[in-house]
Amino acid sequence: MELISDLKKLKCGKVIVSPKMKNYTTYKVGGSVLALVYPIDVDNLINLIKFLRKHNIKYKVLGNGSNVIFKNISYDLVIIKLDYFNDLTITGKKVVVGAGYSLIALSLKVAKENLTGLEFAAGIPGTIGGAVFMNAGAYKSDMGYIVKEVKVLTPDLEIMTLTNKQMDFHYRTSFLKNNPNYICLEATIYLNKGKKEAIMEVINDRKRRRIESQPLDYPNAGSVFRNPTDHFAGKLIEDLGYKGKKIGGAMVSTKHANFIINYNKASGEDIISLINDIKNKVKKEYGIELKIEQEIVE
């Protein structure tokens, strides 16, 4: 394809042609996209986006693929991964970290630096950019509590800094999620001083609890639904008798009903069908509209 050849000539980073998205998502599902590009820096990212816009090619920024569902189709889409945006600077309680840095790796790194406040993220398999985008959280905390400001690339391809207030963090959402044409480049996080031993004790205890309660031995993308007000999504689904419910190769986990697992070569369509079945059943039985945490890529 001539466009892909031209894309490679841009020399804005590594280009993988026609990759299968099942190799880049935690659900391990998804058909092919036109290309996957790893820009080396902001200038390369800007040049890449200008090129894609000029040729009317759709594009999407993807982190670790830990919260997305791709269908088993061929997408006219270029995926941008910011893995090279992984600089990290720790100065006292201030942490400045690139969008491509692993959230789990950061939580362990700051623990060794005797910094507390990121323990909740030690089991979330995303990148900083993805975590900021969706305001990832657990254990009654989330990114909104610790992120001071976010450096972004605007739709006009200008770099600007958004404050915590401007980021409009709420339960599993943010300004970026509502304005996806803005791209997270870097986050500034403020933590508190603690003791490494106590921090690691919390992290290890939660790891043990995750292993006991979550289906970590199968491909999944974490919690499927947000918890409705005054309810737990997993409890609602379990009370329907839906643990072990299957559609194709997708199954509601028998460990935790708010997890769907790829237990037998599922397609993205299998997972989406199971999600819709659950939503419809919960709506019918309880009158509650479950909201999906995960993103379905159309």
Question: Is 102 a known active-site residue?
Answer: no
Q: How far apart are CA 69 and CA 156, in angstroms?
A: 28
Rg (CA), the chain: 20
Question: CA–CA separation, 253 vs 298, rounded Å?
Answer: 25
Catalytically annotated residue among 172, 186, 253, 267: 172
183 class by beta-carbon count within 10 Å (0-12 exposed, 13-18 middle, 19+ buried) = buried
Contact 116, 199 (CB under 8 A): yes
Query: Is 53 an active-site residue?
Result: no
Q: What is the Cα–Cα distance from 196 to 116, expressed in whole angstroms? A: 8
Give whole-number Cα distances, 257 to 222, 235, 254, 278, in Å: 11, 7, 6, 10
Phi, psi of 68 (to 5 degrees): -130, 155
- Looking at the chain, how many residues does it have? 298
Q: Reduced to 3 states, what is the DSSP secondary structure of residue 109?
A: helix
- Catalytic annotation on 293? yes
Catalytic residue among 102, 107, 223, 267: 223
Per the CB < 8 A criterion, the answer to whether 22 and 28 are in contact is yes
List the one residue out of 142, 133, 86 whose CA is nearest residue 109.
86
Whole-angstrom distance, CA of residue 233 vs CA of residue 231: 6
Q: Residues with catalytic annotation? A: 172, 223, 293
